[in-house]
Amino acid sequence: AAALQIPRLAGGYGSTLLFVGCAALLTAVRLRPDPSTFAPADSASGSTAAVPLATLLARPRVLAAVVALVIGQVVMVAVMGVTSVHLKDHGYSADGIGTVISGHVLGMYAPSPLTGWLVDKLGRLPIVVAGCIISVCGCVLAAASHPSNHMVMIVALFVLGVGWNGTFVAGSTLTTDAVTVPEVSTGGCTIYAIYAKKQNTATDAYFKVNDHATTAGGSNGANVKITIPLLVGNDEVAMIF
């Protein structure tokens, strides 16, 4: 970044672009056979009519999947988003913050094979509940620990990531169980659109907090209320932290 005379932190975005681009290229060129060839033979004969959201949410397993995905994502982003601001306010360098967030990302994705096995072995809902409990434990540990304890902060964010992994893997599996193959391209997309909306609202709140902290500076920068709009039916309500 320094050699290109761009902001130092922009280097991370450049490396991300490089690796994501390589992954996209490898997927396009080397992913053989085409995954669509594994679709059930009767999928093409199914109805492709759009499935109303109300119809999908009337299915208990779909509703449970949506709740699991939304809770897991909002809790995770709400804590992860302010962590860098919190740690920077307590004197952490970019390297120190990076190790904490790296531990968090490791917890988000590394347990996936084990989580998938547990989902099949113990069931979807037990893993959703376990993921929620683990997320709460990570939140409590992060809140109760002094930021100067670097290792505890890494563990706390790692635990939070593991909790998110449980709710995401189990919630996604619940969705695939409850939505048929023809519905995946219609109603199934609606389910993930709801999930993406919640992710975006939580992320938007994260950037607002970072903006405020950067502008105000000092410890008061992070002491702001986060308002996250949530869509309930046709009405919009707000969660205030």
| pLDDT tens digits in sequence order for the chain, 241 residues long | 677 777 777 777 888 899 999 999 998 888 887 776 766 655 545 555 667 777 777 888 888 888 888 889 889 988 988 898 889 999 999 889 999 999 999 999 999 999 999 999 999 999 999 999 999 999 999 999 888 899 999 999 999 999 999 999 999 888 888 877 666 655 545 555 555 554 555 445 444 444 444 433 333 333 333 333 444 333 333 333 3
CB-based contacts of 52, cutoff 8 Å, min separation 6? 187
pLDDT of residue 150: 93
pLDDT of residue 48: 55
pLDDT of residue 237: 36
- The residue written with tokens 């709009």 in the block is 229
Longest dimension (CA), the chain: 61
Report the distance separating Cα 29 and Cα 16, nearest Å. Answer: 20
pLDDT of residue 50: 65
pLDDT of residue 49: 61
pLDDT of residue 26: 93
CB-based contacts of 135, cutoff 8 Å, min separation 6? 72, 75, 76, 160, 163, 164, 167
Report the distance separating Cα 154 and Cα 104, nearest Å. Answer: 7
Q: Which two tokens stand for residue 215?
A: 């502008």
pLDDT of residue 212: 44
Report the distance separating Cα 13 and Cα 168, nearest Å. Answer: 25
Report the distance separating Cα 128 and Cα 61, nearest Å. Answer: 12
pTM: 0.71
Report the distance separating Cα 177 and Cα 94, nearest Å. Answer: 42
Which residues, listed in sequence order, are joined to residue 227 by a DSSP beta bridge?
240
